[in-house]
Structure 1
Amino acid sequence: MTALAASHAGQPFAKGHGAGNDFVILPDPYGCLTLTAQEVAGLCDRRTGIGADGILRAVRCSAASEAAGMTAEAEWFMDYRNADGTLGQMCGNGIRVLARYLVDTGYCPPGLLAIATRAGIRTVHVSHRTADFEGPVTVDMGRPCLSGPAGITVTAGGRSWSAAHVDVGNPHAVVLVDDLQHPGDLTTPPVVNPTHAYPDGVTVEFVVRRSSHHLALRVHERGVGETRACGTGACAAVAVALRTGAVADAFTVDMPGGRLRIAVLPDGSMQLTGPAAIVAHGTVRL
Structure 2
Amino acid sequence: MNDSRDISPAVGTQSGPPTSKRPALPFIKAHGTRNDFVVLVDPEAELECPPQLVRAMCDRRAGVGADGLIRVARAGALERAGVIPQRPTGCGKATWFMDYRNADGSVAQMCGNGVRVFAHVLVAEGLIPAAEGVEPFSVGTRAGAKRVVLHRADARDAVVSVDMGAPHLLGPATARWNGQQLRGLGVDMGNPHLAVVLEDHDAHSLAQLPVPLPVEGDPEVFPEGLNLELLTPLAGGRAHMRVHERGVGETESCGTGTVAAAVAALAHRGRRVGNVAVSVPGGEVQVSVTEDGSTLTGPSQIVFRGSFPLLDANSVT
Please report the TM-score for the alignment, with normalisation by the length of structure 1.
0.89
Equivalent residues of 1:212, 1:248 under 8 A apart: no
Q: Distance in 1 between matches of 2:253 and 2:191?
A: 15
Task: Tell me the SS of whatever aligns to 1:218.
Answer: strand
Matching of residue 176 in structure 1 with residue 197 in structure 2 = yes
Letter in 1 for 2:95: E
Task: Tell me the SS of whatever aligns to 1:17.
Answer: strand
Counterpart of 2:116? 96
Show CA shifts across 1:76-135 (max 9, x none).
11000001100000000001001101101100123233110000000111134358x934
Counterpart of 1:222? 246
Matching of residue 24 in structure 1 with residue 13 in structure 2 = no
Task: Tell me the SS of whatever aligns to 1:146.
Answer: strand
What RMSD in Å do the two structures reach over aligned CA positions? 2.3
Select the residue among 87, 91, 97 that pairs with 1:68.
Answer: 87
Counterpart of 1:156? 177
Matching of residue 272 in structure 1 with residue 286 in structure 2 = no
Structure 1 29/8 Cα, relative in aligned 2: closer, same or farther at 3 Å? farther
Q: Distance in 2 between matches of 1:261 and 1:128?
A: 16
Matching of residue 256 in structure 1 with residue 281 in structure 2 = yes
Structure 1 58/210 Cα, relative in aligned 2: closer, same or farther at 3 Å? same
Matching of residue 118 in structure 1 with residue 142 in structure 2 = yes
Structure 1 275/128 Cα, relative in aligned 2: closer, same or farther at 3 Å? closer
Equivalent residues of 2:73, 2:97 under 8 A apart: yes
Q: Distance in 2 between matches of 1:274 and 1:171?
A: 21
Task: Tell me the SS of whatever aligns to 1:49.
Answer: coil
Structure 1 128/212 Cα, relative in aligned 2: closer, same or farther at 3 Å? closer
Counterpart of 1:40? 54
Structure 1 residue 75: Cα displacement: 1.5
Structure 1 residue 71: Cα displacement: 4.1
Counterpart of 2:14? none
Equivalent residues of 1:213, 1:248 under 8 A apart: no
Letter in 2 for 1:250: N
Q: Distance in 2 between matches of 1:168 and 1:208?
A: 20
Equivalent residues of 2:277, 2:286 under 8 A apart: yes
Select the residue among 243, 257, 263 that pairs with 1:239.
Answer: 263
Identity %: 40
Structure 2 segments unaligned to the other structure (5+ residues): 1-18, 311-317
Equivalent residues of 2:211, 2:242 under 8 A apart: no
Structure 1 residue 183: Cα displacement: 8.1
Select the residue among 98, 121, 129 that pairs with 1:78.
Answer: 98
Q: Distance in 2 between matches of 1:87 and 1:142?
A: 20
Select the residue among 214, 220, 223 that pairs with 1:189.
Answer: 214
Show CA shifts across 1:163-186 (max 9, x none).
211001111011111225498323
Structure number with greater Rg is 2
Residues paired across the two proteins, number: 277
Letter in 1 for 2:47: L
Counterpart of 1:137? 160
Structure 1 residue 72: Cα displacement: 2.4
Structure 1 residue 6: Cα displacement: 9.8
Structure 1 residue 161: Cα displacement: 2.0
Structure 1 residue 234: Cα displacement: 0.6
Select the residue among 40, 51, 61 that pairs with 2:65.
Answer: 51
Task: Tell me the SS of whatever aligns to 1:195.
Answer: coil
Q: Distance in 1 between matches of 2:27 and 2:181?
A: 41
274-283 vs 5-14, which deviates more? 5-14
Equivalent residues of 2:57, 2:65 under 8 A apart: yes
Q: Distance in 1 between matches of 2:221 and 2:20?
A: 39
Q: Distance in 2 between matches of 1:173 and 1:52?
A: 23
Please report the TM-score for the alignment, with normalisation by the length of structure 2.
0.81
